[in-house]
Amino acid sequence: MRRVIILGSTGSIGVQALDVIRANPERFEVVGLVAGSNRTVLDAQAAEFGVADTGLGEIEAEQLVRDIDADVVLNGITGSVGLGPTLAALEAGRTLALANKESLIVGGDLVRGAASPGQIVPVDSEHSAIAQALRSGTAAEVSRLVLTASGGPFRGRTREQMKDVTPGEALAHPTWDMGLVVTTNSATLVNKGLEVIEAHLLFDVAYADIEVTVHPQSVVHSMVEFVDGSTIAQASPPDMRLPISLGLDWPNRVAGVGTPLDWTASHEWTFAPLDEVAFPAVALAKQVGRAGGSFPAVFNAANEQAVAAFHAGRIGFLDIVDTVQRVVDAHEMPGETVTRESLAESELWARATADQLIAAH
Ligand SMILES: NC(=O)C1=CN([C@@H]2O[C@H](COP(=O)(O)OP(=O)(O)OC[C@H]3O[C@@H](n4cnc5c(N)ncnc54)[C@H](OP(=O)(O)O)[C@@H]3O)[C@@H](O)[C@H]2O)C=CC1
Ligand SMILES: CC(=O)[C@@H](O)[C@H](O)COP(=O)(O)O
Ligand SMILES: [Mn+2]
């Protein structure tokens, strides 16, 4: 029986994790639940799963992760506020099933340094796919990682054609039903940029060897290319319950958690290069990833501010990545060594700088 703490239990990842656990009561026991502010749903979940320990907010999440004995902590919080709980889970020796990519990207070497080998199990669909593909080879045999991107709702459009898109249109993801921030990030391709950094940090592959290909069907979740020219891809209909279940009990598979592909029906998988003029976020993310230090945290913090401003009607869609670019361009690292304190300072600076640019609109 795996004892599981779910952080962000009321969100898209959290609710799907509870679906997996509800269907497999002999395998998983929920021992802690944390949400942001939704006490009503949190209490209902606690009642259904018989959970005594619940909390609201990232501070209570950290405390709960340290205090409650668990095998695995699923971090399904959204945003860089997930950093403290991620570090707490690692420091407490729990397996970390990581959906909250922001904490790894923002924390960088701080998070990697806190983790023992294998302690972080990726839940993000692309990184779960890569982890699954890597079970067939060794690190020395890998030549490239290929991340698939759906392309989002504006795939195929020029910048001019995206000038006036609305928040509602940006939230109409073609293949996945997810929370507001990650869905918006999929539309700008910031999500794919964050995922390139996430892949570098998880699998230690150089940025030059991480590619993005646009695959609108979201069936191939990513691929590993090996030195002999072989490529191993992981494919399944888009359903996060599969990577979540692997995160909860890696490397064991949970029978019946997903529906397999239907090979009696005709279907096509297509792959195309990313239009980097219309969607500059991936190139910008590689730039900040290579710069390292506080740059990824600044990229993410500026994006969080800009996404909120877009949904509040204060800036347009293209202004999101333009704002992030301007904040990154203005950033100077506070010092050589990155600490939690210096990261917090850089994030504060990035949020304030983004807010000033947003206010000037
Ligand atoms: N959804 C998906 O399919 C995928 C998501 N991810 C990643 O997983 C993470 C979660 O995404 P998603 O589930 O879509 O997001 P949602 O917005 O649907 O859910 C976010 C969850 O985090 C909680 N939360 C927010 N702030 C805090 C806080 N300060 N302390 C504790 N909990 C908090 C929310 O609680 P409340 O409801 O109370 O506000 C909610 O439970 C993101 O990092 C995302 O990029 C990655 C791949 C796929
Ligand atoms: C399901 C998942 O992992 C998301 O992060 C997904 O990657 C979003 O899709 P795109 O960013 O490819 O549109
Ligand atoms: Mn993903």
What pLDDT band is residue 178 in, cutting at 50, 70 and 90? Answer: very high
Residue 64: which CATH number?
A: 3.40.50.720
pLDDT tens column, 125-165: 999 999 999 997 778 899 999 999 999 999 999 999 999 99
Q: How far is the CA of 179 from the centre of ligand 3 (A)?
A: 12
Biggest CA pair distance of the chain: 58
Per the structure, the count of domains in the chain is 2
- ipTM greater than cut 0.95: yes
N-term to C-term CA, the chain: 54
Average pLDDT, the chain: 97
Indicate the residue among 123, 144, 168 that finishes a domain: 123
Q: Given this model, what pLDDT does residue 1 score?
A: 95
Report the distance separating Cα 38 and Cα 74, nearest Å.
Answer: 18
Q: Given this model, what pLDDT does residue 307 score?
A: 98
Instruction: Find where tokens 């290909």 sit.
Output: 213
CB atoms within 10 A of CB 252: 11
Report the distance separating Cα 279 and Cα 110, nearest Å.
Answer: 30
Indicate the residue among 70, 104, 123 that finishes a domain: 123
User: Average pLDDT of 16-35?
Assistant: 98
Q: Does 266 belong to an annotated binding site? A: no
Question: Cα 78 to the chain's mean position, in Å?
Answer: 8
Q: Is residue 48 part of a domain?
A: yes
Decide whether any atom of ligand 1 lies within 6 Å of the 129 Cβ: no
Decide whether any atom of ligand 1 lies within 6 Å of the 8 Cβ: yes
Whose C-alpha lies nearest to ligand 1, atom 36? 36
Q: Given this model, what pLDDT does residue 298 score?
A: 98
What pLDDT band is residue 35 in, cutting at 50, 70 and 90? Answer: very high
Q: Is residue 204 part of a domain?
A: no
Q: Does 93 belong to an annotated binding site? A: no
**Region of poorest pLDDT, from 79-93, 168-182, 247-261, 325-339:** 325-339
* pLDDT reading at 334 higher than 90: no
User: Average pLDDT of 328-343?
Assistant: 92
Residues whose beta carbons lie less than 5 angstroms from ion ligand 3: 124-126
Q: Which atom of ligand 1 is nearest to the CA of 37?
A: 38
Decide whether any atom of ligand 1 lies within 6 Å of the 247 Cβ: no
pLDDT tens column, 262-282: 999 999 999 999 999 999 999
Among 36, 28, 48, smallest CA distance to 9 is for 36
* pLDDT reading at 230 higher than 90: yes
| Long-range pairs, 190-194, Cβ under 8 A, ≥24 | 190/281, 190/285, 190/303, 190/320, 190/321, 190/324, 191/149, 192/147, 192/149, 192/274, 192/281, 192/282, 192/285, 193/281, 193/282, 193/284, 193/285, 193/286, 193/299, 194/101, 194/102, 194/105, 194/285, 194/300
* pLDDT reading at 315 higher than 90: yes
Residue 303: which CATH number?
A: 1.10.1740.10
Q: Given this model, what pLDDT does residue 337 score?
A: 87
Report the distance separating Cα 214 and Cα 224, nearest Å.
Answer: 15
Q: Is residue 201 part of a domain?
A: no
Ligand with the closest atom to the CA of 189: 2
Evaluate if pTM is beyond 0.90: yes
Question: Cα 96 to the chain's mean position, in Å?
Answer: 13
Ligand 2 site residues (CB inside 6 A) read 124-126, 149-150, 152, 176, 182, 186, 191-192, 240
* 232 within 8 A of 224, measured Cβ to Cβ: yes
Q: How far is the CA of 218 from the centre of ligand 1 (A)?
A: 21
Q: Is residue 262 part of a domain?
A: no
Q: How far is the CA of 39 from the centre of ligand 1 (A)?
A: 15
Whose C-alpha lies nearest to ligand 1, atom 30? 57
Q: Is residue 227 part of a domain?
A: no
Residue 251: is the preceding peptide bond cis (ω within 30°)? yes
Whose C-alpha lies nearest to ligand 1, atom 24? 36
Q: Which atom of ligand 2 is nearest to the CA of 126?
A: 3
Q: Given this model, what pLDDT does residue 139 score?
A: 80
Q: Does 124 belong to an annotated binding site? A: yes
Instruction: Find where tokens 């929370």 sit.
Output: 179
Q: Which atom of ligand 2 is nearest to the CA of 101?
A: 5
* pLDDT reading at 348 higher than 80: yes
Q: Given this model, what pLDDT does residue 301 score?
A: 98
Indicate the residue among 62, 96, 123 that finishes a domain: 123
Q: Is residue 68 part of a domain?
A: yes
Q: Given this model, what pLDDT does residue 223 score?
A: 98
Q: Is residue 273 part of a domain?
A: no
Question: Cα 277 to the chain's mean position, in Å?
Answer: 24
Question: Quick one: tokens of 252?
Answer: 């064991």
Q: Given this model, what pLDDT does residue 336 score?
A: 80
Q: How far is the CA of 194 from the centre of ligand 3 (A)?
A: 9
Q: How far is the CA of 195 from the centre of ligand 3 (A)?
A: 7
- Single-letter amino acid code for the residue at 198: E
Q: Which of 18, 78, 242 to mutate to test the pocket of ligand 1 (most atoms within 8 A of CB)?
A: 78
Q: Is residue 301 part of a domain?
A: yes
Q: How far is the CA of 109 from the centre of ligand 1 (A)?
A: 23
Q: How far is the CA of 1 from the centre of ligand 1 (A)?
A: 25
pLDDT tens column, 73-114: 999 999 999 999 999 999 999 999 999 999 999 999 999 999
Domain that holds residue 44: 2-123
pLDDT tens column, 319-332: 999 999 999 999 99
Residue 156 sits at the vertex; the CA angle it makes with 189 and 233, to the nearest 5 degrees, is: 60
* 358 within 8 A of 324, measured Cβ to Cβ: no
Q: How would you class 157 by CB atoms within 10 Å of its CB: exposed for 0-12, middle for 13-18, buried for 19 or more?
A: middle
